[in-house]
Chain A
């Protein structure tokens, strides 16, 4: 009976403190959603007024003129390939480094992991020229140079290696060896053991890091900023960053709020559905 008491004074204070932060997080976002259906005049008027009529055409302008639809599609293309590629080559490298002792294993592992400590901006200038030079490679150059999706995808994959290899190698080390050994005795090849036995066993770790990479690559800004300078090729983060500087956009504020809303809403939906996996995926690295 004791345990079923009403909320004490401490309980009220606790909820009040937590409630304040809840408001701090939600109010700016809700305010943006609200502004996305206001007219230009209302946006420049009192910040807290409600829209008189809902201006849904703001969204049409954001989608068409501000090309949010195009940028989202570009992001989708880049991230699907880059995350798939990251997971494929990252898990292959992590598996070999975790389970196959050979001379140089440790050195290669350290080479990957050391990338975690380098500031990206040190590589900024040379990276631009590396990718530019890739554009001059015969035959395939036109696909992997500046302003190409494949070029950006390869760079995304390369810069995702340190964390992916670090995390997955640690994960593969914790898996039992018996099943793989039994399969080898039965004559399965190394490659087959990896794809049909070890990879399925590593599923929880793979899922965590896939989520981590999808979010990280979807939200990536620095890399496309230097490698995809052609407006046609922009990803969503570039499109969003650009509309606020109003360059070439005629400062359509109503459409800006609509564009922000369009960028936030899918994240909100995905997050609401997968919040448990996303939280564990993102914090996975810190808890290792």
Chain B
């Protein structure tokens, strides 16, 4: 008996040792250190850091570039989920209940799902370079070519500071929609078909069907989508860093928190300051998580 207890303990320890040690060394310890480094003036690779308290945080309050980045993240936090979810819900609805009588899937829905989902498997850097070419400012650009062909002025998708942010948003939506179409389709598939048929018999049209039956039953999945997309919006990096002019430009019009952290740490070598920006990003992310948990407390519909 005692031997069995001993064997069990040994087994637990041996199975947990490697994952826990790796996780503590590479994940937990950097996160903890970040809070300390944020309160130092550490610069450069060889310099020794001095403790300076909250000075970095005072300085970042006046850092207009960083606040621009924060504004962009917040704009993305609102726009990316809303646009993506609306488009994805629309397509998921069309694919699954848009068919005959409004209750069945449409022919070819499998094909659409496969195509829509594909951008999701591409690396963000590939998507970034691809759209850099699509958005070229002259007639050789995929979009500007036809525009100029029609006699219109070319649009500076990435070179016009008023437009560049929307280009970034557009690419993010382009890549994300398919994933949520598949997610919502899976959600719809788990709703019993007789729900729709019953509503249909009661005389509901497609629009009523969508707002009164589909949406309430999918609400849980929509909330999950909102949290996922919100986190995506907070973490945006590669699209901005690789696709945009001057990595967050032109004129800081597309920069985001992650890009400023990277820039400060690995281009300006301000390790202390970059960590302070990281701490601010941490509180934004946690704030978003808490907020979305609060808002999502809603009666679940049982079926």
Contact = CB atoms under 8 A, between A and B. Distances in A.
Interface in A259-288: 260, 263-264, 267-268, 270-272, 275, 278-279, 282-283, 286-287
Contacts of A47: 136, 139-142, 144-146
B30 A126 contact: yes
Interface string B182-222: 11001100000000000000000010000000000000010
A221 interface: yes
B164 to A, nearest CB: 16
Contact of A221 (B120, B125, B136, B139): B125
Interface string A87-103: 00110110111001010
B119 A25 contact: yes
A46 B148 CA distance: 10
A123 B30 contact: yes
B79 interface: no
Interface in B270-299: 271, 274-275, 278-279, 281-282, 285-286, 289
B130 A29 contact: yes
Contacts of A11: 99-100, 106
A226 interface: yes
Interface string A143-181: 000000000001101110110010000000000000000
B95 interface: yes
A43 B140 contact: yes
B278 A122 contact: yes
B271 A108 contact: no
Contacts of A46: 139-140, 145, 149
Given A32-B130, A237-B126, A124 B265 contact: yes
B26 A158 contact: yes
B225 A158 contact: no
Contacts of A226: 266
B51 interface: no
B34 A158 contact: no
B54 interface: no
Interface residues on A, range: 35 or more
B83 interface: no
Contacts of B258: 119, 121
Nearest to A239: B125
A266 to B, nearest CB: 10
Contact of A286 (B94, B228, B289): B228
Interface in B101-143: 106, 108, 112-126, 128-134, 136, 139-142
B265 A287 contact: no
A120 interface: yes
B242 A241 contact: yes
Contacts of A287: 183, 186-187, 221, 224
A161 to B, nearest CB: 5
B152 interface: no
A111 interface: yes
Contacts of A27: 142
A14 interface: yes
B26 A15 contact: no
A215 B117 CA distance: 14
Tell me which of A44, A124, A129 has the highest count of chain B C-beta atoms within 10 A of its own C-beta. Answer: A124
Interface in A31-57: 31-32, 35, 43-48
B28 interface: yes
Given A95-B15, A158-B23, A287-B186, A28 B130 contact: yes
Contact of A127 (B11, B26, B98): B26
Contact of B130 (A190, A225, A260): A260
A125 B285 contact: no
B224 A89 contact: no
B70 interface: no
B111 to A, nearest CB: 8
Contacts of A102: 9, 12
B184 to A, nearest CB: 10
B275 to A, nearest CB: 5
A17 B224 CA distance: 25
B262 A124 contact: yes
B19 A159 contact: no
A5 B100 contact: yes
Tell me which of A11, A236, A237, A267 has the highest count of chain B C-beta atoms within 10 A of its own C-beta. Answer: A237
Contacts of B94: 14, 17-18
B127 to A, nearest CB: 9
Contact of B274 (A22, A31, A125, A130): A125
A279 B140 contact: no
A136 interface: no
Given A18-B94, A125-B265, A278-B121, 5 more contacts: A3-B100, A46-B139, A121-B262, A126-B29, A287-B183
13 contacts: A108-B20, A121-B237, A121-B257, A121-B261, A121-B278, A124-B274, A126-B33, A129-B33, A191-B14, A241-B125, A243-B129, A244-B129, A287-B221
